[in-house]
Amino acid sequence: MNLRHALLMGAAASWLLTGCTSAPVILSPVGPGPAGQAVKSSMGYLRVFSATEKSIPLASDDSTLFNLHSGYDIQNKSGQTLQFVSNHASNMDEWPDLVALPAGIYHVVARSSCCGQIAVPVLIVEGKTTAVHLDRDWLPPASVPSSRLVFLPDGEAVGWSSQVREQ
């Protein structure tokens, strides 16, 4: 192979790899589910089931590993990061954090199990919880029409459609 071909192949590989990692997949807005129980609160709540990672064993003789949800950013509509959520309290905490937020529209940038970085607009409603499922562990009720759900590019359901049009 001559130098010209090697440079062209290197440039093409670089372009392809950069294209895969530069921008997250953007989904439709996710909101609270229709059956979610409302609580009296001026805040709304967010729970993100991001992709999981194996924990580090707590002791050298302990081989127990836990599936910790990866951290994520909460951004405002302008893309400014408001908060980073580590999404677990300890090396043994397999349940994602519940985050209280004022009502409004936010963007969650998190890692999914299938598609890498995902940007998800979320609607936070006072007294309700919006859940985003990026770890392939959620099955919506079979009777729910697909128009009420938001999906990853591979067809996996991630949450309830918020029916909100962003400005």
pLDDT at 60 over 60: no
User: What's the maximum distance between 2 C-alpha atoms anywhere in the chain?
Assistant: 70
pLDDT at 20 over 60: no
pLDDT at 56 over 80: no
pTM of the predicted structure, to 2 decimals: 0.77
**Structure confidence at residue 75 as a pLDDT band (50, 70, 90):** very high
Tokens of 73: 């950013």
Q: For residue 70, which of 18, 113, 30 has the smallest C-alpha distance?
A: 113
